[in-house]
Amino acid sequence: MTATSRPEALDAYRRDRGYLGADHARNERRTWIVTAICAVTLFAQVAGGIAFRSMALTASGLHMAAHVAALLVAAGAYRMARRYAADPRFAFGAGKLGYLAGFANGVVLAVTALAIGVESLQRLIAPEAVDYGSALPLAAAGLVVTVVCVALLKPRRGAHGADEVGDLNIAAAHLHLSADAIVGVLAIAGLAAGKSFGWSWADPLTGLVGAGLVAQFAAVLLRRAGAALLDMTPSPKLAGEIRTRLEAEGERVIDLHLWRLGPGHFAAVAAVAAPAARTTEALRARLAGVAALSHVTIELRRDGEPAHGPADGFAR
Nearest in space to 174 (alpha carbons), one of 107, 106, 237: 106
Nearest residue (CB) to Zn ion, 163 versus 180: 180
Instruction: Return the range that interacts with Zn ion (CB under 5 A); candidates 114-122, 124-132, 176-184, 226-234.
Output: 176-184
Residues in region 244-283 near Zn ion by CB under 5 A: none
List of residues 6+ apart from 132 with CB closer than 8 A: 191, 194, 195
Nearest residue (CB) to Zn ion, 80 versus 115: 115
Instruction: Return the range that interacts with Zn ion (CB under 5 A); candidates 81-89, 172-180, 288-296, 301-309.
Output: 172-180
113 lies in the binding site for Zn ion (CB under 5 A): no
First to last CA, the chain: 21
Instruction: Return the range that interacts with Zn ion (CB under 5 A); candidates 47-55, 130-138, 179-187, 259-267.
Output: 179-187
Give the shortest CB-149-to-Zn ion separation in angstroms.
Answer: 10
Nearest residue (CB) to Zn ion, 23 versus 180: 180
180 lies in the binding site for Zn ion (CB under 5 A): yes
Residue nearest to Zn ion (CB): 180
Nearest residue (CB) to Zn ion, 61 versus 93: 61
Size of the site for Zn ion (CB under 5 A): 1
Task: Give the gyration radius of the chain's Cα atoms.
Answer: 25
Residues in region 202-241 near Zn ion by CB under 5 A: none
Cα–Cα distance measured from residue 312 to residue 316, given in angstroms and rounded to the nearest whole number: 9
Nearest residue (CB) to Zn ion, 180 versus 299: 180
* Backbone dihedral region for residue 221 (phi beyond 0: left; psi -120 to 50: alpha; all else: beta): alpha
The alpha carbon torsion through 98, 103, 104, 105 (nearest 10 deg) reads 90
Give the shortest CB-236-to-Zn ion separation in angstroms.
Answer: 34
Cα–Cα distance measured from residue 107 to residue 177, given in angstroms and rounded to the nearest whole number: 15
Give the shortest CB-176-to-Zn ion separation in angstroms.
Answer: 5
In the chain, at which residue ranges do the beta strands (DSSP E only) sit?
A: 252-262, 265-274, 293-302
Give the shortest CB-112-to-Zn ion separation in angstroms.
Answer: 6
Instruction: Tell me how far the alpha carbon of residue 21 is from its chain's centroid.
Output: 11
Nearest residue (CB) to Zn ion, 20 versus 211: 211
Give the shortest CB-150-to-Zn ion separation in angstroms.
Answer: 11
271, amino acid identity: A
Give the shortest CB-183-to-Zn ion separation in angstroms.
Answer: 8
Task: Yes or no: say if 207 and 116 are a contact pair by the CB < 8 Å rule.
Answer: yes
Nearest residue (CB) to Zn ion, 113 versus 159: 113
Cα–Cα distance measured from residue 132 to residue 45, given in angstroms and rounded to the nearest whole number: 17
Give the shortest CB-106-to-Zn ion separation in angstroms.
Answer: 13
**Around Cβ 113, how many Cβ atoms within 10 Å?**
22
Residues near Zn ion (CB under 5 A): 180
